Structure formats: C-alpha cells, structure tokens
Chain A
Amino acid sequence: MLVLARKVGEKLRVGDEIEIVVVEVRGDVVRLGISAPRGVFIYREEIYAAIQAENVSASRIQGDLSQMKNMFTRERGEE
C-alpha cells in the first residue's frame, strides 16, 4: 500500500478525475473531501461491507413465497 503524508488543505489525486483533500485533523479523526466523477461511488468501508454481506445473504432466499401472501393480507387486515 502506498502511504503518503499530507497536511490540512493538501490534496491527493487518484488518476485524472479523483481528488482527495484533507479538510481537518482533530485528535484521531481525519475529515476528507473527495471529488469523483459520476459513476464512481464512495462508501465508508464498514457500510460497504455491511451492504455487501446483506446482498449476499438476501440472494440466498429459499422457500415457498405463497406463504407470504397470507402474511401481507393479515398485516393489512390489522391496520
């Protein structure tokens, strides 16, 4: 992994279109500003990992969906 030292206000460039600026350093929290083109998505790593895991487990769905029919009906009937 490439490791670079930067001061507040200094920037990094990833390729031609992605720019990262160090906005603030306070204690152990670093605030970063990121500019990227449309189509490049930026996620906090832990959120990315959580959604990835949720996608994988949701895609393993099994069972007879007709069971759900009664449940939606029941749910609505109670409202």
Chain B
Amino acid sequence: MIINSTRIGIIEVQEQELVHFPSGVVGLTDWQNAVVVPVPDLPLLNWLQFAHDPSAAFLLLDVQALYPDYRLEFAREQAQLGQDAKVYTIVKVPNGDFTQATTNLMAPIVIEPPASFSDKRQETSDPRRLAQQVILHDFNYPLRHPLFVEEAAC
C-alpha cells in the first residue's frame, strides 16, 4: 500500500511492515495503522506515520538507548506483546523549537518485533505487527520529560 506523509513524502509499504494498534492510541481511536520510518542521521529517532491521514505522525524515541534505566519490562508486560517488543516514547517539539523538545515517559508505545522474531506470526493470517500505547502508572514518569538540558543550566 501507499502511505502519503506530509513530513516524509510518499512511502510504499508491504503489509508485514504495517504496525497495527487494534484500538488506536490513547484518545485517538482511529489511529490504527502506521509504519515506522527511520530518521536519517538520527539513529535514536523514528517517524511513526499513520496511514489514515498524511499529517498524522509521531516522532518516536528509542527510549532504552537514551535512558537505560527506563522500565521497559513494565511497558512490555502491560502491552503483552512479548519480551522482544520494542518500546518507544513520543517526542513533542513545541512550536518547532527543538531546544524545548520533551518526551512522554508516562505513556510509551510498544511494538511487536518484526515477523522473524515472533512465533505468533505463523499462527495468524494477519501479518501486521501489533502495537499499543500503554500507561506506566506507578513510576511517576512525566508526561513531558525534557530531551535536552538547557544551555543556561550548563
């Protein structure tokens, strides 16, 4: 299928590359199918471009790479997508000012690993990778954690 994106242009996607949120993301129930696209030269970041609307996208952070202590195992447990599932957090950039970028550590996105890692794949006819946004209630993780320390504070 072809996914049109206002940020990264036209993307051609095989069905097994699609990421499927059965009930959407929190508060956005029709955001159900998406594709993960790496950001050039920024190995910690990926776009999550949704299929239903060219402007519907999140910037995802490989949270483990930046915050090794993040409680990945609780996110995976809540999502029930297996121990190899990938955990990302959503990055917000207020008014295009990257110095003010924050990431949502409270409600990460958990995505099933690609087909070769998953046994489930052989049992079902749906080739899409399952995904879910979960809420980590018990760790006081902030909704807006600053990604970069301000210059003035250094």
A and B together in one complex: yes
- Give the B-binding residues of A (Cβ under 8 A): 38-39, 41, 43, 47-59, 61-63, 65-69, 71-72, 75, 78
**Contact stretch, chosen from B10-18, B67-75, B96-104, B116-124:** B96-104
Give Cα A65–Cα B91 distance, bound, in whole angstroms: 12
- What is the minimal beta-carbon distance from B123 to any residue of chain A, in angstroms? 17
**Chain B binding surface SS class:** loop
Interface residues of B (CB under 8 A from A): 7, 22-23, 25-28, 39, 41-42, 44-45, 55-59, 80, 90-94, 96-99, 101, 104, 106-107, 133, 135, 137, 143-144, 147-149, 154
The A contact surface, by secondary structure, is helix
CB distance from B145 to the nearest CB of A (A): 11
* CB-based contact B90/A55 at 8 Å: yes
Query: Which of A61, A62, A71 has the largest count of B CB atoms less than 10 A from its CB?
Result: A61
